[in-house]
Structure 1
Amino acid sequence: MYGLRHKYTIMVSVFVIIFLVILANITNFSFLKAEAIYEPTYFNQTINLSMADKSDHLMWFLQISDIHISAFNDPSRITDFKDFCENALKVFKPSVVIASGDLTDGKAANKLTSQEIQKEWVEYQNILSSLNITQHTTWLDIKGNHDNFNLIDLKSKENYFENYSVQGKTNPRSYLYQLKKNGDIYSFIAVDTTLQPGPRFPFNFIGLLDDDEVKVINNIVHQIESSNSNYTIWFGHYPTSCIISHEPNEIRPLIGKHSNGLAYLCGHLHRIVPEMYTLHPEGFLELELSDWKKNRMYRLLAVDHGLLSFIDVKHRDWPVILITNPKHALFLIPYKHDLDVIRQSTHIRLLVFSQVLIEFVKIQIDSQTWTFCQHIDGPLYVAPWDPNAYSTGLHKIKVHVEDVQGRSKYHTQPFSLDGTTLSFGVLPSFVLKTSANTIFKLMFWILNIIILTPLLLLKLVHYRHIARGNNEERKSSTTCTRTCFRKLWNLVSVDRIFWPLVLYQIYLTVGPWTIGYMIENYIGAIFAWGIYVNGVFLPASVTYIYGFMQLLLFQIPLIFVLAHGVDHRIQLYLENGEVSWLSKIRLHVPFIAILTLQFIMVYCVLIGYGILACLICPLHTWATILAIMLWVQALSLLKQHAL
């Protein structure tokens, strides 16, 4: 009896400790704090700007993202990118081209080894230099996570961004570029949030805005304010939801507090959700661009009399149409877009591009008659209108363009002159407005609770039943629910299997998952909460989702497979039956499937991080050995241990 009480006390203590650790992690999430609603001071730099039929106060530029030039996969990425630089840029003649990260792929042919590959960077540089791109436009490139694999610091010999990119030599991280055109100053702020050091795949999926980079960005903002800049465009590789930042230097307030900042442009997520756009409470648009890698997408943007407009375009899809006035109702920015500029305008304005001459451009508002547009200068076409006729509610403007080769394009967009807006999609807003770091943490800790709580409670109940001499739950039952309960009950009754399972899961929350050469020739350790290497801690929150997948695909299936194995052994003792071949197949196949998946993960660690990381890897290698030992234990339980 004393032994049972002692076990009961230990069980309660373990449960309380686990609960407090998990509760401490959950309550520390910034996600649970109320989000502030910012009301930026309205800037009046567009006052007295009359939109008519002139090409003044107009600037357009391009964005391309996630090019992923590869030495091993899909050569058409390179040829299409060269075609874009050689032909599309001649058509658009943009003032600026933003290349927002993942310029190269950094993955070997096996797609498991990740490091910077010089050949890919040479290819990137050769395309831009052979076509003299910098002679025709300003090319603003910035690093993405694939441009930062396996780099201990910026001085690493494999930091090819510094030597082969356009901006790398003078701007190795965040920087400012200012464009002066037609009396206006346009500021472009590149925000580099790649991890330093830069780990290998997949642990640099989330970016980090540290204090040093915040100081650089604050200095840039002060420089902009002193230069009387009219409009500011922010850009980076990671969406703000994929950037770890902490008070008082959180990324969104940092962007939002700058009064003339219009938008933050990014890439990285590769069209996991179409049209990933949103308006943040801090007062700026966030516009994620689909990738070039698979979708061959780029973006045309324009600032026309202070109004930011854009359209995402498929490569070689001509003609391209961008309506700049009236502005798309979905993308109106309160306190920053002056609707009086639209209300007092005399002309509808749009940009039209094609590789050949344009045959005609005509517009239609709502269900009215079509009106032909007049060509003014370059890509600018205009048509007179009376804004007072559309002063309330939502309206639609439709454009029909045809070029001399007979290629025809229709484009429709809603507009509003009284501030009526549309709602962004729920899923895109969720992806861009939440914090991936917080979501990953929640997923990891909640799944820990879901797995551990029932097992520990069932163990407590089991101790109480043993104390009372009640052991009926081990007998065979008929219903599916009772059978499942009986199997779990039998599992928790075997200490030599139950406790290693529980302790392994607890270990995943506190101990190192692997120790090896994390970056170049530097030994480091991966934990649930991040990576330690070369004296630096990287809060690589991808580890949480990695741990979540291990729990989901290994721990949970293993619990049920072992429960079935223990129950199978117990029923043999209780019923003295024989095992058929079909029963043996049903018994062993699920375990073989779990083991196969773990062997694959062990192989991935071996290829990605080397032999040392593979050997010292409790997450996969040791877990595989543990699973085999527990399975052998389950199928060879002696009668005194099973009953």
Structure 2
Amino acid sequence: MERTKWIDIRGNHDAFNIISLDSINNYYRKYSANQKVGSFHYVHQTAFGNYSFICVDATLTPGPKRPYNFFGILNQTHMDLLNSFRAESLRSNQSIWFGHYTTSTIVSPAPGVRDMMRAAVAYLCGHLHTLGGLMPVLHSRHPRGTLELELGDWMDNRRFRVVAFDHDLLSFSDLQFEQWPAVLVTNPKDAQYVHPGVEPLGRIPKSTHIRILAFSEAPITAVHVSVDGEALGKAHCAGGPLYVLLWDPFVYLTGLHRITVKVEDSAGRSAVREQHFTLEDALTPSFGFVQSFILLTDHYILGRVLFISTVLLNMGVLLAFRFHQLPNEDERSGLGCFPGLTSSVLMSLHLISKTNTFYYSLMLFNLFTAFGPWFIGELIDGHSGACFSFGVFIDGHFLEGSLTYVVGVIQLLFFNIPLTSYLCWSLLHRHRHNSSFRSHFVRSGCHWRLLGVHLLMLLLLTWQAHSCYFLLETYGLMAFFLSPVRTWAFGLSLLLIRHAWTGLFPFPPDHGKRAVSL
């Protein structure tokens, strides 16, 4: 710390099970170099100008246990503070914003955190841990031009990044620990990462040298440079890690070109850095769709829309068939115009929605899933709270819903809707054969298709049981017993399945139109 300026910030791992910043479990207050809480603005001063670094601290306080602090939250007061930092940074040569969370995992009021950082050349972040190795590179560009550059974690993947400003043009290289040499080409700048609205790109065609930063544990022995496959020669050291080579940029005024740099050190190791550059703004390459979807989509909004849509679909179908008359004999014969599967589905929905026990039980279950509470327990050790789809209450604090919507969608798709479908299927079989669970297998000859349906439901019940166990292990005994959407729902599902196969059959042969209590 005597030689280096350290700027560190909290992430969600620093806030697991933390009730306040004064908590004895808040290790950040002791082990951080910066020891600042909340967002801040650091101005790095040099002889040739100032450079702003704006920290976006979206970490939750209080911080619940896993998994409900995966998303960060910025309230309006916090956004106003960031806006003041943005205004201050306009006096700097360039500004970089940085934070732990990607902007896609930050909940913020309109116009949103991306618009707030519109004057910055880049936003540096982490959080996604390469998505388990599926996305080792996650970079994209905001609608206003700011680059969002996610970096894989240090803990498991040993990733780090070298960033440089060369005549106020940003360049960077994502590297892996102990892989030498490390190479960064600062001029000409990589065409994919230009920001025409902020960077002075006109300095590239006026430059006299190709400039490269090269690092290694062993002395650098050679830096070879070629453009479009044509060797230009060896760059020479201009002091420290900087290597330069004379060039004529007017040769490359049009089109997209490729620069290749090969660095060798005295230990016999070598590294090759290749990137495209252009002196035309219109030729900036775009980023991939998957990268942009992950980084630029407000996933909490997407989760909210999917959750509300799934709840309305699940409950709306039951409501619609509840108040639609069960078809009589003549109408049922008319169902023959539908394919066999369609008519079976329609009849099964009539059966379940007009049986009071199933209808009211499923509606109540889905209402609890939509409006909660899902469970009440110790979301932080020693501090009780309640979890709803729309957010989490902890010790007088409210944390806006984010990952809760995603968890709700998973609950609906992998239990609520499959349970309703299984009950429909069970009632339809009893309606057709007037059989119990045991006679159902005897009459059907225990076909593998039927057995597969039962096994699938058993698998989903096992998943729900594991969710109950997770509640017990994570949030304590209170959460286990006070959980309508997990523990109570598991018991309810067993009762409903039992009623579907062994209870008195609700519909006589004449298929009465009134709702019947089972």
Is the pair's TM-score, using the shorter chain for normalization, greater than 0.5?
A: yes
Is 1:557 the counterpart of 2:424 in the alignment? no
Aligned to 2:428: 567
Aligned to 1:524: 385
Aligned to 1:543: 404
Give the alignment partner of residue 425 of structure 1, picking from 282, 285, 288.
Answer: 288
Change (3 A) 1:517 1:473: farther
Aligned to 1:617: 483
Q: Please, what TM-score do these two structures have when normalized by structure 2? A: 0.90
1:272-291 CA deviation, whole Å, 9 max, x = no partner? 33421122123311111112
Alpha carbons 2:259, 2:276 under 8 Å: kept: yes
Q: Distance in 2 between matches of 1:607 and 1:567?
A: 39
Q: CA deviation at 1:590?
A: 3.2
* Larger mean Cα displacement after TM superposition, 440-449 or 231-240: 440-449
Aligned to 2:395: 534
Secondary structure class of the residue paired with 1:316: coil
Q: CA deviation at 1:634?
A: 0.3
Alpha carbons 1:200, 1:518 under 8 Å: kept: yes
Letter in 2 for 1:267: G
Secondary structure class of the residue paired with 1:423: coil
Name the Cα RMSD after superposition. 2.5
Q: CA deviation at 1:440?
A: 0.8
Give the alignment partner of residue 185 of structure 1, picking from 50, 56, 66.
Answer: 50
Letter in 2 for 1:421: T
Secondary structure class of the residue paired with 2:121: strand
Aligned to 1:605: 471
Q: CA deviation at 1:317?
A: 1.5
Q: How many residues align?
A: 499
Give the alignment partner of residue 314 of structure 1, picking from 171, 176, 196.
Answer: 176
Change (3 A) 1:472 1:150: farther
Secondary structure class of the residue paired with 2:286: coil
Is 1:202 the counterpart of 2:62 in the alignment? no
Give the alignment partner of residue 26 of structure 2, picking from 159, 162, 177.
Answer: 159
Q: Distance in 1 between matches of 2:363 and 2:356?
A: 10
Give the alignment partner of residue 105 of structure 2, picking from 219, 242, 249.
Answer: 242
Aligned to 1:633: 499
Aligned to 2:125: 266
Aligned to 1:505: 366
1:143-178 CA deviation, whole Å, 9 max, x = no partner? 11111012222222222211221112xx12212222
Letter in 2 for 1:349: R
* Larger mean Cα displacement after TM superposition, 172-181 or 147-156: 172-181
1:119-518 pair list within 5 angstroms: 134-168=1-35, 171-224=36-89, 228-247=91-110, 250-256=112-118, 258=119, 261-272=120-131, 273-419=135-281, 420-461=283-324, 463=325, 465=327, 470=331, 479-518=340-379
Change (3 A) 1:387 1:282: same
Change (3 A) 1:640 1:279: closer
Alpha carbons 2:6, 2:33 under 8 Å: kept: yes
Q: Distance in 2 between matches of 1:279 and 1:161?
A: 31
Q: CA deviation at 1:349?
A: 0.4
Q: CA deviation at 1:233?
A: 1.3
Secondary structure class of the residue paired with 2:427: helix
Secondary structure class of the residue paired with 1:369: strand
Alpha carbons 2:181, 2:215 under 8 Å: kept: yes
Alpha carbons 1:268, 1:291 under 8 Å: kept: yes
Change (3 A) 1:383 1:633: same
> Relative contact order (C-alpha < 8 Å, sep 6+): which is higher?
1
Letter in 2 for 1:159: N
Q: Distance in 1 between matches of 2:330 and 2:319?
A: 20
Secondary structure class of the residue paired with 1:465: coil
Q: Distance in 2 between matches of 1:487 and 1:135?
A: 74
Letter in 2 for 1:555: N
Q: CA deviation at 1:470?
A: 5.0
Change (3 A) 1:280 1:369: same
Letter in 2 for 1:359: T
Q: Please, what TM-score do these two structures have when normalized by structure 1? A: 0.73
* Larger mean Cα displacement after TM superposition, 572-581 or 527-536: 572-581
Change (3 A) 1:354 1:586: closer
Is 1:582 the counterpart of 2:446 in the alignment? yes
Gapped runs of 5+ residues in structure 2? Answer: 510-518
Alpha carbons 2:182, 2:214 under 8 Å: kept: yes
Q: CA deviation at 1:306?
A: 0.3
Change (3 A) 1:627 1:642: farther
Alpha carbons 2:218, 2:266 under 8 Å: kept: yes
Q: Distance in 1 between matches of 2:246 and 2:256?
A: 19
Q: Distance in 1 between matches of 2:259 and 2:452?
A: 63
Q: Distance in 1 between matches of 2:57 and 2:435?
A: 65
Aligned to 1:52: none
Alpha carbons 2:76, 2:109 under 8 Å: kept: no
Change (3 A) 1:578 1:379: closer
Q: Distance in 2 between matches of 1:451 and 1:324?
A: 55
Alpha carbons 1:564, 1:587 under 8 Å: kept: no
Q: CA deviation at 1:137?
A: 1.4
Change (3 A) 1:353 1:638: same
Secondary structure class of the residue paired with 1:203: coil
Aligned to 2:515: none
Change (3 A) 1:338 1:222: closer
Change (3 A) 1:487 1:307: same
1:25-67 CA deviation, whole Å, 9 max, x = no partner? xxxxxxxxxxxxxxxxxxxxxxxxxxxxxxxxxxxxxxxxxxx
1:69-124 CA deviation, whole Å, 9 max, x = no partner? xxxxxxxxxxxxxxxxxxxxxxxxxxxxxxxxxxxxxxxxxxxxxxxxxxxxxxxx
Q: Distance in 1 between matches of 2:220 and 2:508?
A: 83
Identity of aligned residues (%): 37
Letter in 2 for 1:571: R
Alpha carbons 2:223, 2:262 under 8 Å: kept: yes
Q: CA deviation at 1:481?
A: 4.3
Q: CA deviation at 1:430?
A: 1.7
Alpha carbons 1:396, 1:413 under 8 Å: kept: yes
Q: Distance in 1 between matches of 2:279 and 2:70?
A: 41
Letter in 1 for 2:499: Q
1:437-492 CA deviation, whole Å, 9 max, x = no partner? 1111112122223333333333333x2525x88556999x9944444444344333
